[in-house]
Amino acid sequence: MALPQFKPPAFKLPAPDLAGLLKSPLAGVAAAAALFAGAAVALVALMGPFEGGAPHARLPLDAAFHAAPPGWREALRPAQGPLVVQPDVVRLSERPLAPLAATGWNAPAAPPVRALAGGALPAAPIAGFFAPGPGGPLPIIAQDGRTPAEVYARPFTSNGRPKIGLVVGGLGLNARATRQAIETLRPEITLSFVVYAEGLQGWIDMARAHGHEVLLETPLEPLDYPDNDPGPYTLMTDASPPETAKKLEWILSRASGYFGLTNYLGSRFLADDRAYEALAASLRARGLAFVDDGTAARRGGNVPRATAERVIDDQLSAGAIDQQLLALEAGALQRGQALGSGFAYPVTLETVARWANEVEQRGYQLAPASALMARR
């Protein structure tokens, strides 16, 4: 007898209530969790694994170096020792020294840095000592009569010993040399900056945070101009006083925090009475000092003045520089004070850093250039 064929019972699932599901509170929680997980996966893929410290982006080395803004590659190099990076990754800091904008004086202050002995100088600009200019802040004499030459100079108290000052210039163009000068030289050493340097205000802020007073290098016409051209804002000997004042206004508005100017070249300009008087008149009106490298030793102008009696690195060797520094010591012993100048060559920075740490043990006092000035 044939058995009846077995048929399993049919089960019919109820249709899902989609409308009700979407209204459930659990659905919102699940969706948010899924969205968060997806964002986290994408963030890890972009940023790399968490290693503590500031956030960073991981870029191929070639791409990073080609895409980096001006000044990045130089700023990555440490003042001492080789640059160390991962084989295929370079990490950029969060705030580079950006080129100075027209309103650079309103930009955020440079990040805090460790100040050397003597403490940081006040951040610039100081209220009451500047007025807005067409390209940035311009120095002015305060209503109480105090001048930028006074408030931006490094404070100094004589201990009665012979004083020796030193101005190291050419800073701002080479990031590595500039950082080395700021970070390794004693704060009593005055630093002068190239007016065409990018990120000029950032460099000056950093220098003052380390205790260094600052000068701006003013391009002046040399005897062999135009073969030797100091740039488009060179003050020319045959220019009218208004033309000189206009160019000088651009130079002065490039940054804030300097107590005076120093010359960059200028053998022809500084030898001309009319040209020099136009410069001195602007300095008097704005309460600034003038420190020269020896080219304008006989010039006065009724402004605070100092002249370097020797350039210490005409010969680029540690031995020759040491001899010039010893000659400065002899001059200070004879006259009570002496001022020298030098350029930010690697050998100059290394030799000066060593000398500055030892000179006071021989009975001298290291002094900023502003402490050696006199009005003449």
Which residue from 182, 210, 214, 257 is spatially nearest to 114, judged by alpha carbons? 210
Spatial contact of 312 and 149, defined as CB atoms under 8 Å apart: no
Examine the pLDDT at 317 and tell me if it is beyond 80.
Answer: yes
**Higher local confidence (pLDDT), 4 or 295:** 295
Nearest-angstrom CA–CA distance, 338 and 162 = 8
Examine the pLDDT at 266 and tell me if it is beyond 50.
Answer: yes
Q: Which residue is listed with tokens 């070249």?
A: 265
The set of residues, in sequence order, having a beta carbon less than 8 Å from that of 138 and lying 6+ positions away, is 130, 131, 132, 249, 252, 253, 286
Nearest-angstrom CA–CA distance, 183 and 300 = 33
263 three-state secondary structure? strand
Q: What is the pLDDT of residue 238?
A: 97
Spatial contact of 269 and 248, defined as CB atoms under 8 Å apart: no
Spatial contact of 154 and 213, defined as CB atoms under 8 Å apart: yes
Q: Which helix (H) or strand (E) holds 45?
A: helix 25-47
What amino acid occupies position 162? P
* Backbone torsion region of residue 222, taken as left when φ is above 0, otherwise alpha when ψ lies between -120 and 50, otherwise beta: beta
Spatial contact of 358 and 310, defined as CB atoms under 8 Å apart: no
24-33, 260-269, 342-351, 352-361: segment of lowest average pLDDT = 24-33
| Mean pLDDT value across the chain | 80
Examine the pLDDT at 31 and tell me if it is beyond 70.
Answer: no
The set of residues, in sequence order, having a beta carbon less than 8 Å from that of 177 and lying 6+ positions away, is 170, 171, 344, 345, 346, 349
20-24, 222-226, 289-293, 345-349: segment of lowest average pLDDT = 20-24
Q: How far is CA 198 from the centre of its chain?
A: 9
139 three-state secondary structure? strand
Which residue from 361, 352, 370, 376 is spatially nearest to 168, judged by alpha carbons? 352
Spatial contact of 291 and 369, defined as CB atoms under 8 Å apart: yes
pTM of the predicted structure, to 2 decimals: 0.70
